[in-house]
Amino acid sequence: MIGEKLKLLDYIEATEFSKKSEAERAKLICYYEYKEHSTTVFRMSEIADYLVNCGCNKPNLSRLKDNLTKGKSKCFVFSKGDKSRVEFISAVKELLDKEYGKFWVDKETVVSSSEVIDESKFCGKRDFLTRLIKQINASYNQNCYDACAVLMRRLFEVLLVLSFQHNQIDHLIKEPSGNGYLMLDRIVGIAQNDQTLKLSRIKTKFDTFRQVGNFSAHSITYIAGAKDIDDIKIDYRVMLEELYNKAGII
């Protein structure tokens, strides 16, 4: 039942919908629409349709409006400048979140705060890069330093490939068969010597970025610690800035 999307029938069962008053049902079904479809304002006719779709009798719209916007069961206010539509009272929505929000599990949002990489500078350019960066930061925040190191290696590799692609020289790092790219150690060697990319002295740190990730990914006994990440953070940031530029990421 619990997941990114919640089936209406599961929701009706979980909230004991059939035992609720008409106003309570309306509140619950509007909350469902809010969670599933990000609907924040509702017309009374829409609420009536929601209820009918749940197997309820069609309500008297005038009575339902009074019950939802007045008295003890009040849970909506009229939208600003539009009396034909209503929206949740903030406190009511917070209570609904507290009681029923658990039925929706967010499997997308990564909670992070620039622990390793400055999100204000490097996020928001390409979605897949943003997600990688936030995962790096979140891993560090949760003391998962091996995961952090492996993800940093992956981001480094991705940016190298994007730099070759942007400069239309990615044929230099492709497998002879043309299927896929060379291993990272070979890509690093080519990048360090390529005259089209013309990398700065940060290229001397490339093997360090690769090795830190390699130890975490492949060594049987090695366990990364915070210091392993902290020791390369400044150089890693310089590398990001340069490869963002070489990859044309603006």
- Top CATH class of 119-246 equals mainly alpha
Domain boundaries in the chain?
Answer: 8-103, 119-246
User: What is the Cα 219 distance to its own chain's centre?
Assistant: 30
Architecture of domain 8-103 in CATH? Orthogonal Bundle (1.10)
For residue 49, give every residue at least 6 positions away whose Cβ sits within 8 Å of its Cβ, in sequence order, or none. none
Residue 148 backbone class (left: φ over 0; alpha: ψ -120 to 50; beta: rest): alpha
Residue for token digits 């400055």? 118
**What CA–CA distance (Å, rounded) separates 66 from 84?**
13
Q: Identify the pLDDT of residue 133.
A: 97
| 3-class SS of residue 82 | strand
**What CA–CA distance (Å, rounded) separates 199 from 195?**
8
What percent of the chain has pLDDT above 90? 84
81-131 pLDDT, tens digit per residue, is 788 899 999 999 999 999 998 888 777 778 899 999 999 999 989 999 999
Residue for token digits 């790096």? 136
196-230 pLDDT, tens digit per residue, is 999 999 999 999 999 999 999 999 999 999 999 99
pTM: 0.65
Residue for token digits 């590799």? 157
